[in-house]
Amino acid sequence: MAEAARRVLYRRMTSRSPDEPHRTATPLELFFDLCFVVAVAQAAASLHHAVTEGHTGQGVLGFLMVFFAIWWAWVNFSWFSSAYDTDDVPFRLTTMVQIAGALILAAGVPRAFDHGDFRLITLGYVVMRLAMVTQWLRVAAQDPAHRGTALRFAGGIALVQAGWVLRLLLPAPWDFRMFFVLVVCELLVPVWAERKAPTRWHPHHIAERYSLFTLIVLGESVLSATLAVEAAFGTGHAASLVWLAAAGLVIVFSMWWLYFERSAHDLLVSLRAGIRWGYGHYFILAAAAAVGAGLAAMADFHSHVSHVSARAAAYSVAVPVAVYLSSLFLLQIRPHYRGVVVYAFPAAIVLVLLAPLGPAPVQVIALLIAALTTVVVLARHPRPAPASAPS
């Protein structure tokens, strides 16, 4: 009885099988995702306000920087848990420390956007990443086959975190330049560490984890756009806001449909493919979050509380939609489809970027992406040929 209780409280952290049947996301992983969306929502809301106030360039740059911290911490946890999720007490407690770090980061987002103060964001990020170091040190102690890989991960992550802290001491513009240097270092740590002895992640599990996070981010976009429309509805522009809300729903529904039309697990056939696919999702997820901010900015424009032109507001929707379609096409559509779909995606992307030059740009974007979704569905499920008449 005591031995059984001990196994529940503590398990040896050894690599899980990549062929494990029926591997799905755990309740802890789902809780982790939901808590991270708080930070995503803060970043999207700050982008929305920056666009509305006419600080689009500054807002986009700040959003991309903050979103990298959120996304990269999520990515590292997801791939680690795919290989080493023991679901014991130490694993759960360490994961909750990472969640606390994400909430600290979320609390620092407004100060980063409004005052360029990244201290609280950096603190939250370092908390998340140092929790990951403790996980890798546990692997190094308990999984001899991957000890070298685990030590590379732990040492590389810890070293880069020291760089993030030191960056706070640098004067402008060196602190800004150092950000991109450290981003490159963060991205190179897994590439370098995995060369020692690749970890054994589960393709189906990884594909599901990314799908779930994409789903949650798309839901956050719907929420942010809905709240903006609700806040603007009492301004006397109900008709235009109804059309905007309808078009926004078509856009987000189509984004969902295109992403989930085909599972991506069969694309994750190697470490190289996994890194390319996993890293490329930064653009899919960031664009999905930014679409909600863009729709909220369009609601502000229709309510005459925005400080930007109609074209600038429309591009706050068109650009993230185009980035989303481009990234999805390269990562998941092109490998699965041939023929008309391969040509329909680039054409739709160009037309989406041209839509703000004409009237009703968001409605036009909605029609374009809905038409593209129809093309993809028909290519996946072609109509059966009519049966020949009996002779």
Of the residues 142, 167, 194, the one at which a domain ends:
194
Q: How confident is the model at residue 243 (pLDDT cuts 50, 70, 90)?
A: confident
Whole-angstrom CA distances from 138 to 72, 132, 149 are: 21, 10, 12
* Residues 125 and 163 placed together within one structural domain of the fold: yes
Of the residues 172, 194, 216, the one at which a domain ends:
194
C-alpha 146/C-alpha 140 separation (Å) is 7
Hey, CA dihedral for 112, 117, 120, 122, is it positive or negative? positive
pLDDT tens-place string over residues 129-174? 999 999 999 999 999 999 999 999 999 999 999 999 999 999 988 9
With respect to residue 7, please indicate whether it lies within any of the assigned structural domains: no
What pLDDT is attached to residue 391? Answer: 41
Give me the domain span that covers residue 161. 24-194
Q: For residues 16 and 43, is the Cβ–Cβ distance under 8 A?
A: no
pLDDT over 50 (residue 222): yes
Query: To 5 degrees, how large is the angle CA 225–CA 57–CA 309?
Result: 60
With respect to residue 327, please indicate whether it lies within any of the assigned structural domains: yes
* Residues 151 and 274 placed together within one structural domain of the fold: no
C-alpha 34/C-alpha 30 separation (Å) is 6
What pLDDT is attached to residue 382? Answer: 62
With respect to residue 11, please indicate whether it lies within any of the assigned structural domains: no
Cis peptide before 359 (omega within 30 of 0): no
Q: For residues 377 and 260, is the Cβ–Cβ distance under 8 A?
A: no
CA-based Rg of the chain, rounded to a whole angstrom? 23
pLDDT tens-place string over residues 63-92? 999 999 999 999 999 999 999 998 899 999
First-to-last CA distance in the chain? 76
Q: How confident is the model at residue 303 (pLDDT cuts 50, 70, 90)?
A: confident
Of the residues 165, 194, 223, the one at which a domain ends:
194
* Residues 160 and 307 placed together within one structural domain of the fold: no
Q: How many domains does the chain have?
A: 2
* Residues 148 and 234 placed together within one structural domain of the fold: no
* Residues 86 and 208 placed together within one structural domain of the fold: no
Which 3 state secondary structure label does DSSP give 42? helix
With respect to residue 5, please indicate whether it lies within any of the assigned structural domains: no
> What does the chain come to in residues?
391
Q: For residues 86 and 11, is the Cβ–Cβ distance under 8 A?
A: yes
